[in-house]
Amino acid sequence: MGVLNVTPDSFSDGGRFTDLEAAVQHGISLFRAGADIVDVGGESTRPGAERVDAATEAARVVPVIEGLAAAGVPLSIDTSRAAVAEAALAAGAVVINDVSGGLADPAMATVAAAAGCPWVLMHWRGHSRDMQRLAVYQDVVAEVRDELRARADAAIAAGVDPGRIILDPGLGFAKNPEHNWALSAHLDVLIDLGFPVLFAASRKTYLGRLLAEPDGTPRPVPGREAATLATSLLAAASGAWGIRVHQVRETADALAVWRATGSPRLKKTQNS
Ligand code: PMM
């Protein structure tokens, strides 16, 4: 899954793709570089971000989706608003990617059930403005697993086909770096819930912290690509269904190497 953010303030591509033609061209290049799906988002979810209204969000994404759908690019809509998802599906998107797992907008389940499209339910505890305050866990892996299972159960109860549900640990969303690493190490626990799992670590802050300078300065976004590749490949080897990244070509190359070597799975350690 290639990331196409059409927000002026997205942390990782710095709002470079807000111009319609540039956004469509970038989406096409992600597709040509090997993305099976291009994920179009019009609301920044970086920690601390303020929300935009639904009309602004829809106005950002719908023309880009129309342009990319016309070019034959399979698209997901990265939104937690039902009205935006509905407009995006009408414009040609085929997957809903909801970072709130259906919690932000109760009408999302109705839209997903009616559309019958795949729905990514990401683990989420609250809006970006104050989500880091919610990064409190006794056992992050078990709690994320249980909260994701509850979201899947709620979706199914609302009429969503279980075969259309995809789960995502929500790296960086109400998680500190230790939480993200624990979830990366125990992705199998989420996979054991029986749904495909999407893994989205690309360029995230915790990778910058891992690679910080001796004085603690985090590695800036452009220097996080090798770490993104490493963690993406480990996720694939753990059984992730999909990998959401900004740099598609490099990820596709790494996955090609993994496939050529027989798609080896990581062995579970005795006490994991
Ligand atoms: N992270 C971001 C946005 N959308 N969607 C899913 N399913 N999972 C994620 O972890 C996720 C997401 C954060 O920002 P970015 O678009 O710049 O990567």
In the chain, domain spans: 2-260
- Quick check: CB of 120 below 6 Å from ligand 1? yes
**Both tokens of residue 219?**
């590695």
Catalytic residue among 244, 249, 259, 267: 244
Query: Does the pLDDT value for residue 20 go beyond 60?
Result: yes
pLDDT score recorded for residue 18 = 62
CB under 8 Å to 58, separation ≥6 — which residues? 42, 83, 84, 87, 88
E strand spans, 126-264: 165-168, 198-199, 242-243
* pLDDT classification of 8: cutoffs 50, 70, 90: confident
Give 168's strand partners: 122
93, 118 in Cβ contact below 8 A?
no
Q: Whose CA is nearest to atom 1 of ligand 1?
A: 200
The predicted model gives 213-237 an average pLDDT of 97
**C-alpha to C-alpha distance for 195 and 91, rounded to whole angstroms:** 27
CA dist 220 → 10, 12, 34, 67, 210 (Å): 14, 10, 26, 32, 11
pLDDT at position 23 over 90: yes
Nearest-angstrom CA–CA distance, 245 and 136 = 27
Q: Put residue 187 in one of left, alpha, beta given phi > 0 → left and psi -120 to 50 → alpha.
A: alpha
CA dist 151 and 263 (Å) reads 30
Query: What pairing do the DSSP bridges indicate for beta strands 119-122 and 165-168?
Result: parallel
Q: Is the CB of 10 under 6 A from ligand 1?
A: yes
CB hemisphere CA count around 129 (13 angstroms): 4
Q: Are 8 and 251 in contact (CB under 8 A)?
A: no
Across 32-52, average pLDDT: 89
Whose CA is closest to atom 11 on ligand 1?
200
Cβ atoms of 66 and 93 closer than 8 Å? no
Does ligand 1 come within 6 angstroms of the Cβ of 128? no
Residue 1: both structure tokens together: 């899954």
The protein residue whose alpha carbon is closest to atom 13 in ligand 1 is 45
Q: What is the DSSP letter of 64?
A: H
**80 within ligand 1 shell (Cβ under 6 A):** no
Give the pLDDT band (50/70/90) at residue 16: low
Q: Hey, which of 45, 95, 121, 128 would you mutate to test ligand 1's pocket, going by the most ligand atoms within 8 Å of its Cβ?
A: 45
Bigger pLDDT: 215 or 131?
215
Higher model confidence: residue 260 or residue 10? 260
Ligand 1 atom at minimum distance from 204 CA: 18
Architecture of 2-260 per CATH?
Alpha-Beta Barrel (3.20)
Mean pLDDT score, 30-51 = 90
Counting residues of the chain whose pLDDT is more than 70, the rounded percentage is 94
Pocket lining: 198 vs ligand 1, CB cutoff 6 Å:
yes
- Rounded distance from Cα 200 to ligand 1 centre (Å): 6
Tokens of 133: 């305050």
204 catalytically annotated:
yes
pLDDT class of 7 with cuts at 50, 70, 90: confident
Report pLDDT for 49. Answer: 76
Query: What gap in Å lies between CA 76 and CA 120, rounded to an integer?
Result: 9
Structure tokens at 164: 């259309």
Centre a 10 Å sphere on the Cβ of residue 30 and count the other Cβ atoms it contains: 24
Give residue 38's pLDDT band: very low, low, confident or very high (50, 70, 90).
very high
Mean pLDDT score, 232-253: 98
Give the whole-angstrom CA distance, residue 69 versus residue 61. Answer: 12
Nearest CA to ligand 1 atom 17: 12
pLDDT in the model for residue 139: 98
- Distance separating alpha carbons of residues 4 and 37, to the nearest angstrom: 10
Q: Is the CB of 99 under 6 A from ligand 1?
A: yes
Q: What ligand 1 atom has the least distance to the C-alpha of 201?
A: 10
- Is 244 among the catalytic positions? yes
Whether the predicted model's global pTM rises above the 0.75 cut: yes
